[in-house]
Structure 1
Amino acid sequence: MASEITYAEVKFKNASPAAEVKVPPKTKKREHHPQKYPPWLPWLISLLLLLVCIALAIALLVAPFCHSSDQPTALQQKFMEWQCMSTMSQSKEQGWKCCPKDWKLFQKSCYYLSTDKLSWVESEQNCTGMGSHLVVINSKAEQNFLSKELQKLKNGENYYIGLKAREVEQWHWVDQTPFNETAAFWRKGEPNDMDDENCVVIHRFSNLPNNWNNVGCWNHHRICEAAAVTV
Structure 2
Amino acid sequence: MTSEITYAEVRFNRGPTASGIHPGSLAAPKQSTAPHKSNLDLPKLFLISLLILFLLLAITFLITFIIFFQKYSQLLEEKKSLKELNHTALECMKNNFKEKVWSCCPKNWKPFSSNCYLISTESKSWYESKHHCSTMEAHLLVISSKDEQDFIIQNLKNTLAYYVGLSDPEGQRHWQWVDETPYNANVTFWHAGEPSDRNERCVILNYRRPLATWGWNDIRCVQNQMSVCEMMKIYL
TM-score interval for Structure 1 and Structure 2 normalised by the shorter chain: 0.5 to 0.7
Map 1:74-85 to 2 at 5 A: 74=83, 76-85=84-93
Map 1:80-229 to 2 at 5 A: 80-88=88-96, 92-150=98-156, 153=157, 157-166=160-169, 167-192=171-196, 194-205=197-208, 211-217=215-221, 218-229=223-234
Report SS of the residue matched to 1:122.
Answer: helix
Show CA shifts across 1:89-134 (max 9, x none): 9xx5243211111110001100010010111111100000011000
Change beyond 3 A, Cα 1:100–1:165 = same
- Give, as a single letter, the amino acid of the residue that structure 1 aligns with 2:95: T
Distance 2:82 2:186 in 1: 33
- How far is the alpha carbon of 1:180 from its aligned partner? 0.4
Larger Rg: 2
TM-score norm. by structure 2 comes to 0.60
Show CA shifts across 1:33-65 (max 9, x none): xxxxxxxxxxxxxxxxxxxxxxxxxxxxxxxxx
Report SS of the residue matched to 1:195.
Answer: coil
Work out whether residues 140 and 209 of structure 1, in 8 Å CA contact, stay in contact via their aligned partners in 2. Answer: no
- How far is the alpha carbon of 1:87 from its aligned partner? 1.7
Report SS of the residue matched to 1:87.
Answer: coil
Change beyond 3 A, Cα 1:196–1:213 = same
In structure 2, list runs of 5 or more residues that go unmatched: 1-79
Show CA shifts across 1:60-93 (max 9, x none): xxxxxxxxxxx7794x42111111122249xx52
Work out whether residues 206 and 214 of structure 2, in 8 Å CA contact, stay in contact via their aligned partners in 1. Answer: no
- Give, as a single letter, the amino acid of the residue that structure 2 aligns with 1:80: T
Change beyond 3 A, Cα 1:204–1:84 = farther
Change beyond 3 A, Cα 1:142–1:73 = farther
Distance 2:213 2:181 in 1: 20
In structure 1, list runs of 5 or more residues that go unmatched: 1-70
- How far is the alpha carbon of 1:147 from its aligned partner? 1.0
- Give, as a single letter, the amino acid of the residue that structure 2 aligns with 1:101: K
Distance 1:181 1:216 in 2: 21
Report the identity percentage. 37
- Give, as a single letter, the amino acid of the residue that structure 2 aligns with 1:230: Y
TM-score norm. by structure 1 comes to 0.61
Change beyond 3 A, Cα 1:174–1:141 = same
Work out whether residues 144 and 208 of structure 1, in 8 Å CA contact, stay in contact via their aligned partners in 2. Answer: no
Distance 2:213 2:147 in 1: 9
- How far is the alpha carbon of 1:195 from its aligned partner? 2.9
Distance 1:190 1:73 in 2: 42
Aligned Cα RMSD in Å? Answer: 2.3
